[in-house]
A = this chain, B = another copy of it.
Amino acid sequence: MKKFQVIFLPSGRRGEVPEGKTVIEASRELGVGIESLCGGNRSCGKCKVRWIEGRLSPFTEEEANLITESERVKGYRLGCAAQILGNVQIFIPEESRTQEQVIRKEASQISIELKPVLALRYVELSPPTLHDPLGEFDRLQKALSEKYHLPTKIHIDYPALLRLSQVLREGDWKVTVATWMDEEILDVKPGRVEDLYGVAIDVGTTTVAGYLCNLRSGELIASQSMMNPQVVYGEDVMSRITYTATHPDGLEKVHQSIIDALNQLIGAVAQRSGLSSEDILELTIVGNTVMHHLLLKIDPRYLGISPFTPVIHRSMDVKARDLGLKLHPSANIHILPVEAGFVGADNVGVLIAEEPYRQDEMVLIIDIGTNGELVMGNRERLLSSSCATGPALEGAHIKFGMRAAPGAIERVSIDSKTLEVNFKTIGEKDWQLKSKRASAIGICGSAIIDVVAELFRNRVINQGGGFNKNIPTPRLRISAEGPEFVVAWKDQTSIGKDITITQQDIRNVQLAKGALYAGAKLMMQKLGIEKLDQVILAGAFGTYINAEAAMILGMFPDCDLRNVHAVGNAAGDGARIALLNRDKRVEADEIARKVEYIELTIEHDFQKEFIDALSIPHAKDPFPHLRGVLNEE
């Protein structure tokens, strides 16, 4: 097979790539990051690159849909369409580069009753003699039964058995035994051992977070996050399903990439704490249903088509070695149950962390990751649903949208008199009007909500979301694609152009918030309630969202703003809780079956509610708690 030299600019990364590979494939082989939201489907236009010299395949019609004529003459191509046909040099514009994610999955302070599945038991054995030649394991089992009343049928995991002889002698027949659920011996160590360790993992579509815990004290020793490397196979869960369905070995590749990532993450978090991966005896994992399936190497294709059935709902215990995870050779993995095709183990994590099923108050929990999940109810009854919000609230399908990475505008305010804009960029300490730094690259989710809410508050857009063309400001202008509002002027950015929010962007935000709102309204109808007592914003996104702006937009039904809370990464909290308390695992399995999943798309009223909910604020809702917040006419 012919190979050609490919050079990526500005990084200068270079290497040989087989003829016919796409630019995106070449970039993956050479370890260069190019954005790809649609998974190489030639539909998102986020992977635009600029040809410098050399031979690529001819410009296609599909590219013409996403690349303007003026871009085309400058050499712009789609990375997923253009193929390498000779030695080439390719420039990756800043907007198209994969950014290192700002990790927002910090662990919350939670108090957890300690009752782990693992326990350490110290025993002293008498060595065998000719008159008492009972086998080594049988001797150990007898001692464990006598001293700790462990069942006589306790099982020893095969790798632990292999080391038993040596360990018993190293410890001079005094050993510490690590047991799992009082059913299985995972390890035997010489002498007295006090501590044992586990890791709770939250596999998000975009971010993977690991929390290393001491299972004796419950202490959170270290936490660490990294990007989910599967993003190169598609930004959202649907693109990843598509990737696995349309590429030979696709499932294997996508699965292996998360396994490799977990090995790396766990190795790193252990090392930071003076431990090694081999010290980790237990892992708990949460993630949405697609992440759950891909991690297990289960074909996710039926999650993508009606009736969206998962292969398995209930929690699973699997040996780490069966998944290729390099922990202690006998380590077990506990994967929390999933609720439904679109409400996964991450939401179950949220549930056992927030425990709405123990409350009298009527609670709405919104967990916005790369998808929107809603839980509503109290101790009487609990509903869950999933909203196809689209990725707009995370910055995708937005003209200048991007993930929460350095250079992303994360906060926006508009002066109600001058309509001047001030904004804060990730990586900068001060707001732009003070810092005067020109570091903005794009807009991330929290700022998108801010912008739309501020535009509405200042009547730059109306209830329908349309621009009010009578507003006298140079920021509101008509481009070739329609009206748009300038958030950052060219000289305030590092990409050499104005960063704007377009009419289409606002429509996308309306679709997202409308879906969440309609979902919540429908769930209220189902529950027969008129008002919410509490709203909990969960998810990495939720930590940073401005509750007031979200309420102005009408992202959720009216609620006293004092009762709207952001709880951070509640899914990760749930994984930690399951790691430290075995009763909570039982609770998780029970609640995952008990919560009633509402498939919104088949609800009769959903479409109507949804259309009503596109307005800002919701047309039929008085939003009493917003009085005085909006600029009334």
Contact = CB atoms under 8 A, between A and B. Distances in A.
Interface of A: 128-138, 141, 155-156, 158, 161-162, 164-166, 296-299, 301-302, 306-314, 316-319, 322-323, 338, 340-341, 597, 599, 602
Closest 4 CB pairs of A and B: A135-B313, A137-B312, A128-B309, A130-B307
Contact of A311 (B161, B313, B338, B602): B161
Contacts of A602: 130-131
B597 A309 contact: no
B128 A307 contact: yes
A314 B338 CA distance: 38
A233 B210 CA distance: 48
Contacts of A311: 135-137, 161, 164-165
B298 A161 contact: yes
Given A130-B602, A599-B130, A309 B162 contact: no
A200 B141 CA distance: 28
Given A138-B312, A158-B296, 12 more contacts: A128-B307, A133-B309, A135-B310, A136-B302, A136-B311, A136-B312, A137-B314, A138-B314, A156-B312, A161-B316, A165-B299, A166-B299
B298 A129 contact: no
A31 to B, nearest CB: 30
A156 B308 CA distance: 21
A313 B165 contact: no
A129 B599 CA distance: 11
A138 B307 contact: no
A323 B321 CA distance: 13
A74 to B, nearest CB: 47
Contacts of A141: 314
Contacts of A599: 130, 133
B322 A130 contact: no
A384 to B, nearest CB: 12
B161 A312 contact: yes
A155 B314 CA distance: 10
A565 B155 CA distance: 39
A298 B168 CA distance: 14
Contacts of A306: 130
Nearest to A308: B133
A309 B161 contact: no
Q: How many copies does the complex hold?
A: 2
Contacts of A341: 133
Contacts of A134: 309, 313
A136 B338 CA distance: 12
SS of A interface (majority): mixed
A295 to B, nearest CB: 12
A174 to B, nearest CB: 17
A310 B136 contact: yes
B137 A313 contact: yes
A313 B162 contact: no
A133 B340 contact: yes
B161 A307 contact: no
Nearest to A300: B165
30 contacts: A128-B307, A131-B602, A132-B307, A133-B309, A133-B340, A133-B341, A133-B597, A134-B309, A135-B310, A135-B311, A135-B313, A135-B314, A136-B309, A136-B310, A136-B311, A137-B311, A138-B312, A138-B313, A141-B314, A158-B296, A158-B319, A161-B296, A161-B298, A162-B296, A162-B297, A162-B299, A164-B311, A165-B298, A165-B299, A166-B299
A217 B632 CA distance: 85
A551 to B, nearest CB: 32
Contacts of A308: 130, 133
A313 B139 CA distance: 9
B135 A312 contact: yes
Contacts of A131: 602
A309 B158 contact: no
Nearest to A589: B153
Contacts of A166: 299
A258 to B, nearest CB: 15
A181 to B, nearest CB: 12
Contacts of A318: 158
A297 B138 CA distance: 18
Nearest to A130: B307
A309 B165 CA distance: 10
A313 B136 CA distance: 8
A296 B164 CA distance: 13
* Most-contacted residue by chain B among A128, A323, A340, A602 (CB, 10 A): A128
A597 to B, nearest CB: 7
A485 to B, nearest CB: 40
Nearest to A289: B135
Contacts of A158: 296, 318-319, 322-323
Nearest to A152: B314
A298 B166 CA distance: 10
A45 B176 CA distance: 47
Contacts of A129: 307
A164 B302 CA distance: 12
A138 to B, nearest CB: 5
* Most-contacted residue by chain B among A134, A312, A318, A322 (CB, 10 A): A312
Contacts of A136: 302, 309-312
Contacts of A297: 162
Contacts of A317: 155
A470 B199 CA distance: 85
A344 to B, nearest CB: 12
Nearest to A601: B130
Contacts of A130: 306-308, 599, 602
Contacts of A301: 165
Contacts of A299: 162, 165-166
A207 to B, nearest CB: 26
Nearest to A309: B128
